[in-house]
Chain A
C-alpha cells in the first residue's frame, strides 16, 4: 500500500505541471511572484487563493466518496455558513462568529449523516434534500438581501495573509494537515476505506460503520462551513443565491481527478487537493489566455470525460487499479 501511493499520484502531479506550463506559455509572467506589503502576489498565488474553497470542500468530499457516499449539499452549506458568519460579524466577536458558522456546518453534516447512516437513505438523495432546501435556509438567514459586514477580523480570513501567504491558503493547508493527522495518523483512514469497500464486511469485522459515516458527513459539513466563511470573508458579505453555487460539482470533480474512485475504497486527500488546484489552474489559464471564459465549462467537461475513461474498469483496468474489484453500483 505505502509503496503504491506515490505511483498513483504521478499522473495528477504531471497533469498539474503540464497545465501550469501551458499557463506559462500563454502568459510568460505566470510564475512571477512578488512580495508587496508583506503578502505574496502573482498568478501562481492567485491559483492557490482562488482554489482554496474548492480545495477545502474536496478535503471533506474525498472522505465521503471514499465511504461510497456523496455530499451534494456542500454548496448550500457554504451559503448557510457564509450567511451566518456575515450576519453575525459586526455584532459579535470573531470566536463567536466562527463557532456559530462552524457549528452550523457540523449540524448540517449531522443531518446528512443521520439520514444516510440511520435512516439508510441513499447518499445522493439524502444530501439532495439539503442541497434544495439549504439555499432557502441561507436566504432566510440573510432575509433575501446580500448581507455585508465591515469587521476586519472576519475580513482577515479572506483577504489577509500569514507569513506572506493569503489566509485562505493557510486555512486550507491547516485543514488538510489536520485531516491527514486524524485520518492517516490513526486507523480511521483504514476503517473509512474498509467501509467504502464493503460496508457489511466492515460492520461484521467490528467497525462502527454508522458512527464513522455520521462523523465523515459532519467533517464534510465542517469543511464546507470553513469554505463558506472564507468565501464570505473574501467578498465582505454573503450572497445566499450565489455563494458556493455548483461548487459541489467542482469538489466532486476534484476528488475524481485526484484518483479516488466513485465506487468507494482507497482515497487520497492530498491528491484531491491537487485535483482542486488542477481545476483552478485550468480556470486561471483560460482567463489568462484571453479565450472567452465560456470555454471553461467545455474544457471541464472534456477533462472529466478523459479522467473517467482513464478510470474506467474497461479501459483503465490495472492502470487505475481501482473499481475493478467492486461491482457496478450507483454512487
Chain B
C-alpha cells in the first residue's frame, strides 16, 4: 500500500498544486470557484489535453514527439479546404485526416525504429514537413461554415447558471479516459512502460519492439489529428499558423504531471492535471486583466523547474534507498 502510494507521489503533488492554485484563485476572485470557470477550463484546453495524452505515451516509452503542433495546424487547414473547397462531407473529412495522421505517425515511428535515429530529430523533421505542407495548402485563415460545425458548437450539456459541457470537452474527457484504460490496463500499455524502462530488456523479453514503437507514434499523431479536429471545432476555421508551439505546452504538461522524461514512468491523469494547471494560470491572468500574458510563460517555466527538481530529488532518494541492504523493504 505504502509502495503504491509512493508511486503516485508525483501525481498527488500535481493534484495538490492544482487544488492549491484553484483555491488561491478563488480566494482572490470570489467568482472564480464556479462551475462555469471549470467548464471553460475543460473546453479551452481540450485540444491540448488530447495532445498531452498522446505525448504521455511517447514520453513514457522514452521518446518525444515534436511534430504534434504542426499536425494540428495541418489538420485544421486540411479540414477547412476539404469541407469548404473540395466539398467533402465533414464526417468523411474527419476520417480522411485521421487516416493521413496515422500514416504520418507510422512513418515517423518506422524511421525512428528501423534507422535507429533519435526521436527528437526525426519528429523535428516531421514538424517542419507538416507545417510546410500546411503552408503550401493555404496561408490564409479559412472559415468553416458547414452545418455540422454550427450544430456541434450548439450541442452541449447545459447546467444551471449558464455553464456548458461542450463537445470538445466531452471528446477530451473520453480521450483521457480511453488513454488511461489503454495505458494502465492493456498489454500495449505495459509494453509502452517496458520500452521506456529498457529497450534491450524489452526486446529480450520477446516483446515486439518495432511494432510497439510504430504504434506509439501512430497513436500520438492520430491524437494530434483529433486535437486538430477539436481545435477546428473550437475556432470554426483552418489556419496554417494555428497551434504553433503546442508541442512545448504538451511536453510541459506531461512533465508537470509527473512523467519522467527519461521514460518508464508516468500517468495520463498527471498529464491531464498538468494541462489544467496551465489553463488555470491562463484563466487567472485573464481574470486579473492587469497582468500580461507573458507571465504565463514565466509561471509555466517556474513550475517546470519545480517539478523537475522534485523528480530529481525523489529519484535521488530512490537510488539511496536501493543501496540499502536487501530485506529492509518487504
**Chain A residues near B (Cβ < 8 Å):** 70, 115, 119-122, 124-126, 128-137, 139-140, 144, 240, 249, 252-253, 256, 262-263, 292, 294-302, 304-305, 308-309, 311-315, 328-331
CA distance A126 to B115 in the complex (A): 27
In addition to A136-B297, A252-B121, A308-B121, 15 A-B residue pairs with Cβ atoms within 8 Å of each other are A126-B308, A132-B300, A133-B304, A135-B294, A294-B132, A296-B132, A298-B129, A300-B132, A301-B125, A301-B132, A304-B124, A305-B125, A308-B125, A312-B115, A313-B116
Which residues 89-128 of B have a CB within 8 angstroms of A?
111, 114-122, 124-128
Please, which residues of chain B bring their CB within 8 A of the CB of A329? Answer: 118
From A140, A296, A304, A331, B298 is in contact (CB under 8 Å) with A140
Residues of B within 8 A of A132 (CB): 248, 252, 297, 300-301, 304
> Per-residue CB proximity of B244-262 to A under 8 Å, as 1/0?
0000100110010000011
A132 to B297, CA, bound (A): 6
List, in ascending order, chain A residues with CB within 8 A of B118's CB: 262-263, 329-331
Q: Does B270 belong to the interface (CB within 8 Å)? A: no
Interface residues on B, range: 35 or more
Residues of A within 8 A of B251 (CB): 128
A125 to B115, CA, bound (A): 24
What are the 3 tightest A-B residue pairs by CB atom distance, in nearest-first order? A133-B301, A297-B132, A136-B297
Task: Tell yes or no: B32 within 8 A of A by CB.
Answer: no
Please, which residue of chain B has its CB at the minimum distance from the CB of A241?
A: B294
Contact: B116 with A256, CB < 8 Å? Answer: no
User: Contacts A70-B120, A249-B124 known; A122 to B115 CB distance under 8 Å?
Assistant: no
Q: Is B54 an interface residue (CB 8 A)?
A: no
Query: In whole angstroms, how far apart are the Cα atoms of A42 and B295 in the complex?
Result: 43
Q: Shortest distance in angstroms between B116's beta carbon and chain A's nearest beta carbon?
A: 5
B residues near A125, Cβ cutoff 8 Å: 255, 261, 304, 308
CA distance A329 to B262 in the complex (A): 10
A269, chain B: closest CB distance, angstroms: 20
The answer to whether residues A298 and B63 also contact, given A122-B262, A133-B302, A313-B116 and a CB cut-off of 8 A, is: no
Q: How far is the CA of A330 from the CA of B298 in the complex (A)?
A: 27
Given A124-B120, A252-B124, A305-B125, answer yes or no on A133-B298 (Cβ-Cβ < 8 Å). Answer: yes
Q: CA of A137 to CA of B292 in the docked complex: distance in angstroms?
A: 12
Nearest-CB distance from A31 to chain B (Å)? 28
Query: For chains A and B in complex, what number of residue pairs have CB atoms within 8 angstroms?
Result: 136
Q: Does A304 lie within 8 Å of B125, measured CB to CB?
A: yes
Q: List 24 A-B contacts (CB under 8 A).
A: A121-B312, A122-B262, A125-B255, A128-B251, A128-B304, A132-B252, A133-B297, A133-B302, A144-B294, A240-B294, A262-B120, A294-B139, A297-B132, A298-B136, A304-B121, A305-B111, A308-B121, A311-B117, A312-B117, A314-B116, A328-B116, A329-B118, A330-B262, A331-B121
B116 touches A140 (CB 8 A): no
In the complex, chain A residues whose CB is within 8 Å of the CB of B64: 124, 330
Q: Interface readout for B269-292 with A: 1 if CB under 8 Å, 0 if not? A: 000000000000000000000001
Q: Contacts A70-B120, A132-B248, A331-B121 hold; do A301 and B126 have CB atoms under 8 A apart? A: yes
**In the complex, what residue of chain A is closest to B125 when comparing beta carbons?**
A304
A297 lies within 8 A of B128 (CB):
yes
- Cα–Cα distance between A129 and B308 once the two chains are bound (Å): 9
Known contacts A124-B261, A128-B248; A297 and B117 CB within 8 A of each other: no
Closest to B306 in A: A129
B13 beta carbon closer than 8 Å to chain A: no
Q: Is the Cβ of B132 less than 8 Å from the Cβ of A136? A: no
Is there an interface contact between A301 and B121, defined as CB atoms closer than 8 Å? no
- The docked-state distance in angstroms from the alpha carbon of A129 to that of B298 is 9
